[in-house]
Copies of this chain bind each other. A is one copy, B any other.
Amino acid sequence: MNNYVLKIDCSDKKGLIYKISDVLYKSDLNIVKNDEFVDSENSKFFFRAIVSGDIENINLVTKLKKVMPEDANIKLTKKRRKKIIIMATKESHCLGDLLLKEYSDDLNAEIVAVVSNYDYLKGLVDKFNIPFHHVCHEGIDRADHETNVLAVLDNYECDYVVLAKYMRILSSDFVKHFDGKMVNIHHSFLPAFVGANPYKQAFNRGVKTIGATAHFVTNDLDEGPIIAQDVINVTHEYSWRDMQKAGRNVEKVVLSNALDLILEDRVFVSFNKTVIF
């Protein structure tokens, strides 16, 4: 008997838990764990359950659709290792952390490929026998480069694309191919600094904390629903390069934590926010 993850979100109505559990019970399935949340402001219902039992030939999703509101998104996923593609540029801290975690079975995913606009990281990726694709951005315009990247990505089946310090801005056209399936990590500060070299700006402002935010990518590379955040403390003794180094440590931890949540199908997206069970 296998475990499945059942995720449902829809407009909120009375009796939804009853209707779901009624279907599951009469299908002879057991709820190992369930979480439920109602976003009362937007009147939206979120439900996630780990379900065990013989699910193969019973058309569970169809049965659920009959009793749930019309706008219900119902996803039933067998618990399995997901496939991910990592996109990076030159920095290795996030990429390397994920490569190592996969190597030591601490990442619930298979890294099927790494794509980069430079070839700096090829040596590292080769060590782990994972396909590395250098898709150079030089001498061509953004649209052409993205077409080339897409051509590479299309060779793989993958569940998520992880931007592990991929430093190119992505067009809306590109991003819309990966709605809810692309994750990014970026530095974040109290207060926020935008523009070039944010660590230098944060240094000049004398911040006492350095943070990182992992989020789904929507139109804007550094916005989108937040999955995980964390900060570490710094002092006046930190040069802006020390801050960057500290930032690398928190970035890799936050990205890894966010992936752990996504890879277990714990994250819903709604109204530019996440609901995480």
Closest to A258 in B: B208
A225 contacts across to B, CB distance below 8 A: 206
Chain B residues, Cβ within 8 Å of A228:
208
A236-B273 contact given A17-B17, A22-B18, A205-B226, CB 8 Å threshold: yes
Q: Which of B15, B128, B231, B253 contacts A253 (CB 8 A)?
A: B253
A93-B104, A103-B92 known; A273 vs B190 contact (CB < 8 Å): no
A140 to chain B, nearest CB (A): 28
Copies of this protein in the complex: 4
Mark A81-113 against chain B: 1 for CB-CB distance below 8 A, else 0.
Answer: 000000000011100110010011010000000
What is the bound-complex CA distance between A237 and B264, given in angstroms? 14
Contact of A37 among B33, B211, B256, B274 (CB under 8 A): B33
Q: Which residues in B have their C-beta under 8 angstroms from that of A204?
A: 271-273
Q: Which of B93, B103, B191, B248 contacts A192 (CB 8 A)?
A: B191
A 222-260 to B, binary, CB cutoff 8 A, 1 in contact else 0: 000111111101011100000001001100010010000
**A91 to chain B: which residues have CB within 8 Å?**
104
Say whether A245 contacts B127, CB under 8 Å.
Answer: no
Q: Chain A: how many interface residues by the 8 Å CB criterion?
A: 67
Indicate the member of A127, A208, A225 with the most B CB atoms within 10 Å: A208
A276 touches B236 (CB 8 A): yes
What CA separation (Å) do A206 and B248 show in the bound complex? 23
Which 4 pairs from chain A and chain B are nearest by CB? Answer: A206-B273, A18-B25, A18-B21, A192-B192
**Could you write out 16 A-B pairs with CB less than 8 Å apart?**
A15-B30, A17-B17, A17-B21, A18-B24, A39-B236, A100-B100, A104-B124, A188-B191, A191-B192, A204-B272, A205-B272, A209-B229, A209-B230, A236-B274, A249-B253, A249-B256
Task: Add 9 more A-B contacts to A92-B103, A208-B227, A229-B233 (CB < 8 A).
Answer: A15-B30, A17-B21, A34-B34, A92-B100, A106-B245, A204-B272, A236-B273, A236-B276, A253-B253
